[in-house]
C-alpha cells in the first residue's frame, strides 16, 4: 500500500469504519504524533515510583492475590518477564490473522492514550509487527475476560521478548525469527510494562468486533433473501406499509420496512397477482413480520456496535496512570462485562437472522404453503430437490440456539478468589465465529431456494433489485434442474454471503447511533 493508505490511530477516537478497515483491509498503521508526549509523561511517573520507596500495585508489588508482596527494585524487570512467562497459558487453535491485527491495533491505541505508563517504543514495536504482517500466534482459549485477557495477551506481547511464535505469510516462525524479519530486537520490559500489555479487554473486544463485522453482511443479505422469498411465493407487500411501522414507532422496524419497499419497488410479478385473483389474505409470520424481527435485530446490532466502539477506544488495564495529577490508581476497567453482554446481544440477534431464514426455506419447499412444486424441483419424487438442503439449514439454526445461550451470566472465581466474578467475555465473543458462519450458510441456502422458486414464475419478472440479486446468485450457482452433487453449490453461495456479494443492493447505516 502507498503512504496515502496509512491509517493514523487516534487514541480514544477510532471509528467503527477504522476498525472495520483494520479487520478487512489491513491498512498500514501509525500512531498519531500527539500521543507520544503524553505516553512519555506517564512513563516518567512510573519510573519515579519504581525508584522510590512507596509500594504501588503493578509497579513494585506482586500481582493478584500476591499484591501484598513487595518486589525489590533490582527484580522489577525480572518480575515483568516472569509475568509474561507464567501467564502465557493459552490453548487451542491460533486466532485468525484479521482478529490478531485488531488486537495489536487496539492495544497500541489503548496504550497510546497515555494512561498506562509504558515507553512509546513499546507501542511502536507492536505497530511494527502489524505493519510487517508478523502476527503473534495467539491460542483461542484461556481467558475468562477479567483481569483482562491475560493469557492471550501474554502470547501476543511475549513475541516482543522472543517468546512464542508468529505467523508470517502463512509460515510459522519462532518469535526471534519474526522479530528479525520485522527489523526488531528483543525488548526488556521495564516496571509495569508487562502488566500494562496483558491487562485489558483487547482480545475479547477484537473477537466481538470480528463477529459484528461478519453479522453485518449476513444481516444485509438476509434482507435481500427475505424480499426474494416474498416474490417467490407471490407474497403481499402490504406488511411493509410505512403506516404500520409508524404506529409502533420502533426505529429499526421502520427502517427495515423501508428497505423492503425499496427492494420490492416496481415488481411486475407483484402487480400480476393483485385483485380478486389473489388468494393470499395473510402471509406466514416469516414473511410479513420481517420488519418486526429484523428491525429488532438491527437495533441490537447497533447497540452492540456502540458498546464495542467505546471499548475499543478505552483504557482497560490496571493500575492507571493519571498524568494530570501524577497518581497511579487501581480499579477494574479490565472487567469485560460490557463486551460479554454486547457479544451476547450479537449472538442472539445473529441467531434470529438464521432462525427466520430457516422458516422461510421450510415454507418454500412446502407446496401446500408456497404454491410452488414440492421441494422446488420439477420432477419431485424422482428428484429430492431442496429437501435435505433445508435439513442442513435446520441443523445449523438448531445449533445456534445452544451457541446463543448467554455467556455473560456465567462466572467462575479465579486467582484464589481474588478475581471472584468474571465476565466470560472472551468465550462470549469467540463463539460468534461459529454462529455467524452458520447464519451465512442458512442465508445462502435461502438465496438458492428463493431464486429457484422465483424462476418458476417466468416469464414474469420481479423488481429490478431482486432481479439483480438473482443474476448474481446464478453467476455463482446454476439453476437446480435435476438432483446433483449439492455441497459445492452450498459452499459457493455461502461464500457469496460471506463476501457481501449482495449487500450493495440496499442502503442502510448500521452505525447510526453507534
Instruction: Read off the C-alpha cell for 359.
Output: 422458516
**Phi, psi torsion values for 419, nearest 5 degrees:** -100, 80
Neighbours of 367 (CB within 10 A): 13
| Whole-angstrom distance, CA of residue 378 vs CA of residue 364 | 14
| Whole-angstrom distance, CA of residue 510 vs CA of residue 305 | 9
| Whole-angstrom distance, CA of residue 212 vs CA of residue 144 | 20
> Nearest-CA neighbor of 259 among 6, 503, 432?
503
In sequence order, what are the beta bridge partners of 139?
A: 94
Instruction: Read off the C-alpha cell for 342.
Output: 454486547
Instruction: Read off the C-alpha cell for 53.
Output: 520507596
| Whole-angstrom distance, CA of residue 173 vs CA of residue 164 | 9
| Whole-angstrom distance, CA of residue 345 vs CA of residue 52 | 47
CB 106 within 8 A of CB 18: no
C-alpha separations of 113 from 11, 79, 315, 352 in Å: 5, 24, 7, 38
Three-class secondary structure of residue 61 per DSSP:
strand
CB 74 within 8 A of CB 187: no
Residues with catalytic function: 57
Contacts of 474 (CB under 8 A, 6+ apart): 451
What is the widest separation between alpha-carbon atoms in the chain?
Answer: 90
Within 13 Å and on the Cβ side, how many CA atoms surround 160?
A: 26
**Does an H or E element contain 139, and which?**
strand 139-141
CB 472 within 8 A of CB 497: no
C-alpha separations of 385 from 15, 164, 267, 454, 473 in Å: 45, 50, 27, 15, 17
Amino acid at each position: 500500500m502507498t503512504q496515502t493508505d496509512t491509517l493514523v490511530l487516534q487514541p480514544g477516537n477510532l471509528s467503527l469504519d477504522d476498525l472495520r478497515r483494520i479487520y478487512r483491509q489491513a491498512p498500514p498503521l501509525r500512531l498519531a504524533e500527539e500521543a507520544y508526549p503524553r505516553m512519555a509523561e506517564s512513563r516518567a511517573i512510573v519510573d519515579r515510583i519504581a525508584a522510590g520507596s512507596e509500594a504501588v500495585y503493578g509497579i513494585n508489588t506482586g500481582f493478584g492475590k500476591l499484591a501484598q508482596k513487595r518486589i525489590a527494585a533490582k527484580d522489577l524487570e525480572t518480575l515483568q518477564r516472569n509475568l509474561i512467562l507464567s501467564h502465557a497459558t493459552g490453548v487451542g487453535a491460533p486466532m485468525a490473522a484479521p482478529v490478531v491485527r485488531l488486537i495489536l491495533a487496539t492495544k497500541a491505541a489503548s496504550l497510546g492514550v497515555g494512561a498506562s505508563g509504558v515507553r512509546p517504543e513499546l507501542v511502536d514495536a507492536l505497530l511494527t509487527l502489524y505493519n510487517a504482517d508478523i502476527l503473534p500466534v495467539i491460542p483461542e482459549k484461556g481467558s475468562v475476560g477479567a483481569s483482562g485477557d491475560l493469557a492471550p495477551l501474554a502470547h501476543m506481547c511475549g513475541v516482543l521478548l522472543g517468546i512464542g511464535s508468529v505467523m508470517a505469510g502463512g509460515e510459522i516462525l519462532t518469535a526471534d525469527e519474526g522479530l528479525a524479519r520485522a527489523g526488531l530486537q528483543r525488548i526488556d520490559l521495564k516496571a509495569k510494562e508487562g502488566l500494562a500489555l496483558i491487562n485489558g479487554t483487547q482480545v475479547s473486544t477484537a473477537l466481538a468486533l470480528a463477529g459484528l463485522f461478519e453479522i453485518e453482511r449476513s444481516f444485509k443479505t438476509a434482507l435481500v433473501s427475505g424480499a426474494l422469498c416474498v416474490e417467490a411465493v407471490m407474497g403481499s407487500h402490504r406488511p411493509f406499509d410505512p403506516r404500520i411501522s409508524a404506529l409502533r414507532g420502533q426505529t429499526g422496524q421502520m427502517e427495515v420496512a423501508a428497505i423492503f419497499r425499496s427492494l420490492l419497488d416496481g415488481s411486475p410479478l407483484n402487480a400480476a397477482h393483485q385483485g380478486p385473483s389473489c388468494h393470499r389474505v395473510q402471509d406466514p409470520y416469516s414473511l410479513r413480520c420481517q420488519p418486526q424481527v429484523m428491525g429488532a435485530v438491527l437495533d441490537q446490532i447497533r447497540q452492540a456496535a456502540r458498546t464495542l466502539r467505546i471499548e475499543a477506544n478505552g483504557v482497560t488495564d490496571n493500575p492507571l496512570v493519571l498524568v494530570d495529577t501524577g497518581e497511579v490508581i487501581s480499579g477494574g476497567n479490565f472487567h469485560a462485562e460490557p463486551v460479554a453482554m454486547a457479544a451476547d446481544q450479537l449472538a442472539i440477534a445473529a441467531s434470529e437472522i438464521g432462525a427466520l431464514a430457516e422458516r422461510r426455506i421450510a415454507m418454500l419447499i412446502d407446496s401446500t404453503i408456497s404454491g410452488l412444486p414440492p421441494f422446488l424441483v420439477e420432477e419431485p419424487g424422482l428428484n429430492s430437490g431442496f429437501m435435505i438442503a433445508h435439513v442442513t439449514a435446520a441443523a445449523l439454526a438448531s445449533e445456534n440456539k445452544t451457541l446463543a445461550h448467554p455467556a455473560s451470566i456465567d462466572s467462575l472465581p479465579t486467582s484464589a478468589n481474588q478475581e471472584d466474578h468474571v465476565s466470560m467475555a472472551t468465550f462470549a465473543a469467540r463463539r460468534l465465529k461459529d454462529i455467524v458462519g452458520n447464519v451465512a450458510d442458512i442465508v445462502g441456502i435461502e438465496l438458492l431456494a428463493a431464486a429457484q422458486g422465483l424462476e418458476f414464475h417466468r416469464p414474469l419478472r420481479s423488481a429490478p433489485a431482486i432481479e439483480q440479486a438473482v443474476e448474481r446468485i446464478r453467476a455463482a450457482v446454476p439453476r437446480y434442474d435435476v438432483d446433483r452433487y449439492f455441497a459445492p453449490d452450498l459452499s459457493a453461495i455461502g461464500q457469496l454471503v460471506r463476501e457481501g456479494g449482495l449487500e450493495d443492493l440496499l442502503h442502510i447505516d448500521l452505525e447510526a447511533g453507534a
